[in-house]
């Protein structure tokens, strides 16, 4: 069928579906005669990959709506029925604060229930790590998290987790996709009303004990040992209108951090994100209101978690009393060094300790790991690949070897109780680390400077370029082709080696990623985002000083921009 035929089928059938959404029906009617809108909404099915689904909320096959969610859920249900015996067919479901997240989660639960699969769903919105935890704790065959993580409010998504509590990786995604593609969206999807599923006992709410067990697991990640610290630091915290409020506050308060001020305007769940249109702690604008609160309350530490509470960003005061945002790489190396040094001090360093990081995360992590005798495993971008490594260690009987995993995009995890990045764990460890150094009269910025003195200054930056719609998708493909045509250098630095992960490299799955290793320990990575219509570039510069690194980064960036014109 061509685009117009698919559109007409939706117009004819969407309103009569048992899961009909009046908003979608209305939007379909408003599209009539608008060829560009119809083309963009129906030119493809919303891509289902290792991140599940993610897209703009609205009408169409290329949008997040009850129909595309139901189709994906039927595909996942068919996969679970083929892979697991009847007694093991259970799926955990959670959702964040985004627009229609609660609706999408109930539609998904209804589809699973209609297929005879038992559903365990949180009674209220919960972070992504709580979903990963529930999958393992309840012995589920799979999990679904309805979230678009840190994207703007027009987006929502559907992340799928495997039996190990880890986001599905390439093989499972391919098998689930094949199930989804075999379905007619309106004829082949089985549905059940959410309340009917509850009444029939096919859908049940996840008990409070599971949430409490998650909080206890986070608190067990402390590496203080016998060290005494003062926990009365002034903390400002923002959940950025997401899911972090309850678990972050509970974990910190139960651990003795009581002097916490919450950013009022960003306290309650709100999928419109009125004061932070791009609710990502990586973005300065998203942290702006928290910074104002920090100044007003003379806070020692600012923490902010993204809507599904798997990323955490921080700001601390410099010597002049001004607040400075730390990057994900900076916080990551600080946490890594803290964990290693405390574990050695406490005698709790595992026998064969392992750090897992992504290929776009600072190589300084590997230098620190080497210093402490910790093995580094580099994986593709996406925390699912870090989670996969924890599972592999577990299979080898070395689950205790996993020490820490982090990625430059503000994701951290220090325990194997979940298999995804966890901002509750991140916030908890950051507060502990801050207080530990503060008790010695050392600020986090001073500690970071000390690490730079030992390992050399590193500047790591990420720049993304947006390409919307069908035309943008084609342009991104052409740009990647241009990067593969042979490049001799960036910013006056020669390319010493090109690593192309598309055919598969170093035992990693095939991925559309290029890494250019430059002279003087620099690098450039280029890759399309797996979840957004963007191309991302990661620049790493090693230099004697911050100023020299910034000047070199500007030269490299100027060369890169030519490809994105």
- Active-site residues, by number, are 149
Distance in Å from the first CA to the final CA of the chain: 35
Alpha helices in 1-88 (DSSP H): 3-13, 22-31, 35-42, 66-83
Question: Could you give the 3-state DSSP secondary structure of residue 457?
Answer: strand
Q: What crossing angle do the helices spanning 35-42 and 22-31 adopt, rounded to 10°?
A: 130
Question: Could you give the 3-state DSSP secondary structure of residue 129?
Answer: helix
Task: Quote the tokens at residue 105.
Answer: 């989660």
Residue 358 to residues 329, 408, 465, 520, 528, Cα–Cα distance (Å) = 11, 8, 21, 21, 15
- Tokens 């923490």 found at: 303
The answer for 27, left when phi > 0, alpha when psi is -120 to 50, beta otherwise, is alpha
CA–CA separation, 198 vs 219, rounded Å?
33
CA–CA separation, 100 vs 95, rounded Å?
10
| Listed residue (452, 424, 392, 342) closest to 131, CA to CA | 424
The phi, psi pair for 232, rounded to 5°, reads: -95, 20
**E strand or H helix at 497:** strand 493-500
Query: What radius of gyration do the chain's Cα atoms show?
Result: 23
CA–CA separation, 544 vs 15, rounded Å?
64
């Amino acid at each position: 069928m061509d685009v117009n035929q698919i559109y007409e089928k939706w117009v004819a059938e969407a309103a009569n579906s048992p899961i009909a959404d009046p908003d979608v029906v209305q939007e379909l009617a408003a599209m009539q005669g608008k060829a560009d809108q119809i083309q963009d909404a129906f030119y493809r099915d919303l891509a289902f990959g290792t991140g599940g689904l993610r897209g703009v909320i609205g009408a169409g096959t290329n949008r997040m709506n009850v129909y595309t969610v139901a189709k994906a859920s039927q595909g996942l249900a068919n996969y679970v029925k083929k892979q697991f015996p009847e007694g093991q067919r259970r799926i955990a479901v959670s959702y964040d604060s985004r627009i229609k997240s609660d609706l999408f989660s109930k539609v998904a639960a209804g589809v699973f229930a209609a297929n005879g699969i038992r559903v365990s769903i949180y009674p209220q919105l919960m972070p992504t790590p709580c979903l990963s935890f529930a999958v393992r704790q309840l012995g589920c065959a799979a999990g679904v998290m309805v979230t678009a993580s840190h994207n703007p409010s027009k987006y929502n998504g559907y992340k799928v987790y495997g039996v190990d509590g880890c986001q599905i990786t390439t093989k499972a995604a391919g098998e689930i996709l094949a199930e989804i593609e075999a379905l007619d969206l309106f004829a082949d999807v089985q549905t059940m009303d959410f309340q009917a599923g509850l009444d029939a006992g096919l859908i049940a709410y996840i008990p409070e004990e599971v949430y409490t067990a998650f909080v206890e697991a986070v608190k067990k990640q402390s590496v203080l040992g016998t060290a005494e610290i003062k926990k009365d630091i002034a903390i400002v915290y923002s959940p950025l209108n997401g899911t972090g409020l309850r678990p972050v506050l509970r974990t910190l308060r139960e651990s003795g951090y009581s002097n916490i001020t919450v950013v009022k305007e960003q306290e309650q769940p709100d999928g419109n994100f009125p004061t932070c249109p791009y609710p990502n702690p990586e973005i300065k604008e998203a942290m702006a209101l928290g910074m104002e609160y920090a100044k007003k309350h003379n806070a020692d530490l600012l923490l902010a978690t993204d809507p599904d509470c798997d990323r955490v960003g921080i700001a601390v005061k410099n010597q002049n009393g001004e607040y400075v945002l730390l990057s994900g790489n900076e916080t990551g190396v600080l946490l890594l060094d803290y964990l290693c040094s405390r574990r050695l001090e406490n005698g709790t360093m595992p026998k064969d300790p392992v750090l897992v990081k992504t290929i776009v995360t600072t190589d300084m992590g590997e230098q620190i790991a080497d210093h402490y005798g910790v093995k580094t495993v580099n994986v593709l971008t996406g925390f699912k690949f870090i989670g996969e490594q924890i599972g592999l260690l577990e299979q080898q009987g070395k689950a205790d070897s996993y020490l820490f995993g982090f990625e430059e995009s503000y994701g951290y995890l220090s325990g194997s109780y979940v298999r995804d990045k966890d901002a509750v764990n991140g916030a908890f460890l950051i507060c502990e680390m801050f207080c530990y150094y503060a008790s010695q009269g050392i600020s986090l910025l001073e500690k970071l400077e000390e690490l730079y003195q030992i390992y050399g200054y590193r500047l790591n930056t990420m720049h993304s370029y947006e390409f919307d719609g069908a035309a943008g998708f084609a342009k991104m493909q052409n740009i990647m082709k241009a990067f593969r045509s042979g490049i001799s250098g960036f910013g006056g630095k020669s390319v010493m080696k090109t690593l192309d992960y598309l055919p598969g490299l170093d035992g990693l799955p095939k991925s559309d990623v290029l890494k250019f290793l430059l002279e003087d320990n620099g690098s450039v990575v280029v890759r399309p985002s797996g979840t957004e219509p963007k191309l991302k570039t990661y620049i790493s510069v090693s230099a004697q000083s911050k100023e020299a690194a910034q000047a070199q980064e500007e030269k490299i960036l100027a060369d890169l921009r030519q490809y994105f014109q």
